[in-house]
Amino acid sequence: MIKTLVLYESKYGTTWEASNIISLIMGPSRRYPISQFSDSLRDFDFIVMGSPIYNGKIHPKMEAFLRNEQEWLSGKKIALFCTCFSGSKGLSVLREVEDSLDDVLELGVFGGRLEMDRLTDDDYQALTEYLSKEGLPPQGMDLFNREEIVDWALRLKDIKDSLLDRLPLSQLREAVENFLKEHNTCTLATGSSGRIRATPLEYIYNQGHIYILTEGGEKFANLLFSSKISMAIYEDYTDRDSLCGIQITGQANIVEEMAEYRRVIKIKGMDMHFVKSLPLDLHLIRVDIEKVEFLNSDFKKQGYSIRQVLEF
């Protein structure tokens, strides 16, 4: 596991909220304000640090932390983010911090939020001066955009995956294919414009595709609008040393082409006479796999990361 630490400083809660979103999406991680930093946290692998921008600088506590902890931080993979009113200022401040560190992988600049009636007298005064300098009216602002923080967190998650101790590609592909062949039941998640559906279904895996024969149902209300799907196939949970499950991201297509349809019917051990004799239409969905995320305790036992990611 890539041990991930999210450290933040926040005066009025905006950077706290951003750090919360990032930590939730990045998966296994710990999140602390700088004031709760302790020596034991130095053995984390990936450090995400976030600060608001006040008067053209990062928060003094973050500044002091970076100065005092520079030595061990230099050996770590790092991502930096800030919340602020001026994106260009935020970026130039983060770039300065980046220059003082060795291995910064990503920078994130997010819109900030302030309510004037929550400010201390000093902050009210300083903010009014800052806003008039920027030619902005002396009023609260809300530039906070969850979407852009979510996108950034997803990018960090991909970066984190790239740091895993990876199984050789051919070995991973074989493990994925074996798992898919050894199982026959999945949960297919479909969604479109506010509608979501998780459907347990029998499937077969054949030559890089997953096929599902189905009598129809609500999943098509989504698939007709969006072919984006996610699938989960997994073993029952017993204990943390025996985790085994796959999440798939891909596109689901309704197969209209008869040659492909017939081929799958044959693989399923059925014939077309039987299919035609049924009192219902049997539809065929083909899932084109884009990405497989495989959690398997056996990988860890072999000296690799428990989580492996395979792009198809």
Ligand X SMILES: Cc1cc2nc3c(=O)[nH]c(=O)nc-3n(C[C@H](O)[C@H](O)[C@H](O)COP(=O)(O)O)c2cc1C
The residue range among 49-57, 153-161, 221-229, 295-303 that interacts with ligand X, by the rule CB under 6 A, is 49-57
Element (H, E) at 41: none
Q: Does 56 bind ligand X (CB under 6 A)?
A: yes
Q: What DSSP letter does each residue of 131-175 carry, written as one string?
A: HHHTT--SS-EE---HHHHHHHHHHHHHHHHHTS-PPPHHHHHHH
Give whichever of 31 and 160 is closer to ligand X, judged by the CB atom: 31
Based on the shown chain and the rule CB under 6 A, indicate whether residue 54 belongs to the binding site for ligand X: yes
DSSP 227: -
* Least separation in angstroms between CB 157 and ligand X: 23
By CB under 6 A, the residues from 66 to 125 that bind ligand X are 83-86, 89-90, 112-114, 119, 123
Q: Does 15 bind ligand X (CB under 6 A)?
A: yes
Q: Which of 36, 40, 55, 207 binds ligand X (CB under 6 A)?
A: 55
Cβ of residue 35: shortest distance to ligand X, in angstroms? Answer: 14
Q: How far is the C-alpha of 191 from the C-alpha of 287, rounded, in Å?
A: 15
Instruction: Pick from 53, 78, 172, 243 the residue near ligand X by CB under 6 A.
Output: 53
Determine, following the binding rule CB under 6 A, whether residue 296 of this chain makes contact with ligand X.
no
User: At closest approach, how far in Å is the CB of 45 from ligand X?
Assistant: 26
Q: Which is nearer to ligand X, 83 or 222 (CB)?
A: 83
77, amino acid identity: K
DSSP conformational letter for 130: H
Site for ligand X contains 130 (CB under 6 A)? yes
Is 136 a binding residue for ligand X by CB under 6 A? The answer is no
Report angle CA 238, 241, 245 to the nearest 5 degrees: 70
Tell me how crowded residue 159 is: count the other CB atoms within 10 A of its CB.
16
- Counting residues that bind ligand X (by CB under 6 A) gives 26
- C-alpha to C-alpha distance for 11 and 115, rounded to whole angstroms: 12
Residues 6+ apart with CB under 8 A from 307: 1, 161, 164, 293, 294, 295, 299
Contact residues for ligand X (CB under 6 A)? 10-16, 52-56, 83-86, 89-90, 112-114, 119, 123, 126-127, 130
